[in-house]
């Protein structure tokens, strides 16, 4: 049974690679030094510095493993290479709501989602309702405050 691939943009891959590099080249050596220093202080059973450093080490190593697993299962997609008039993963979509309000979203991988940057997960309800739509189509989203209808104004792959 093969592991499921999940989509990730080039930008998402770059960010994961940067985090991995920082953790392995900066944080890991710092924590090793902190553990060595705490060991030099003597009794480890009552050494709060040692306990905190070991806990931090566990977090760092866990995150490194998590990033390695994500990178191994990633299906990296360059939105610039997509040629489609339909909304799909990687699309940047301009929407207009019933009141004339405009919003732009980019559909990205789950780990890349950042609503402050208008990047929404491909698994989010709004992204799922947009996939397959074309310019001029209506998109209905069931939100906590009720149904919201948008019209697709523009689709770009940048």
- Residues 128, 60 share a domain: no
DSSP 72-93: HHEEEE-GGG---SB--TT-EE
Residues 91 and 138 in one domain: yes
Q: Are residues 67 and 87 in the same domain?
A: no
* pLDDT tens, position by position, 22-71: 999 999 999 999 999 888 877 777 788 888 999 999 999 999 999 999 99
pLDDT digit string, tens, across residues 83-113: 999 999 999 999 999 999 999 999 999 989 9
- Find the domain containing 39 and state its range: 6-77
Phi and psi at residue 156, to the nearest 5°: -135, 150
Specify the pTM: 0.82
Q: Indicate whether 10 and 29 sit together in one domain.
A: yes
Question: Residue 1 carries which DSSP code?
Answer: -
């Amino acid at each position: 049974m093969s592991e499921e691939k999940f989509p990730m943009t080039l930008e998402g891959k770059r960010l994961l690679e940067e985090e991995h590099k920082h953790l392995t080249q900066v944080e890991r050596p710092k924590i090793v030094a902190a553990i060595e220093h705490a060991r030099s202080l003597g009794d480890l059973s009552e050494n709060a510095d040692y306990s905190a450093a070991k806990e931090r080490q566990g977090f760092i190593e866990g995150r490194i493993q998590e990033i390695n697993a994500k990178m191994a299962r990633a299906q990296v997609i360059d939105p610039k290479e997509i040629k489609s008039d339909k909304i799909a993963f990687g699309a940047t979509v301009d929407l207009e709501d019933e009141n004339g309000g405009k919003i732009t979203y980019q559909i990205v991988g789950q780990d890349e989602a950042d609503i402050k940057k208008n990047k929404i997960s491909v698994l989010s309800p709004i992204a799922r309702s947009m996939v397959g739509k074309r310019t001029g189509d209506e998109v209905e989203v069931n939100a906590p405050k009720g149904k919201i209808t948008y019209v697709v104004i523009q689709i770009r792959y940048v």
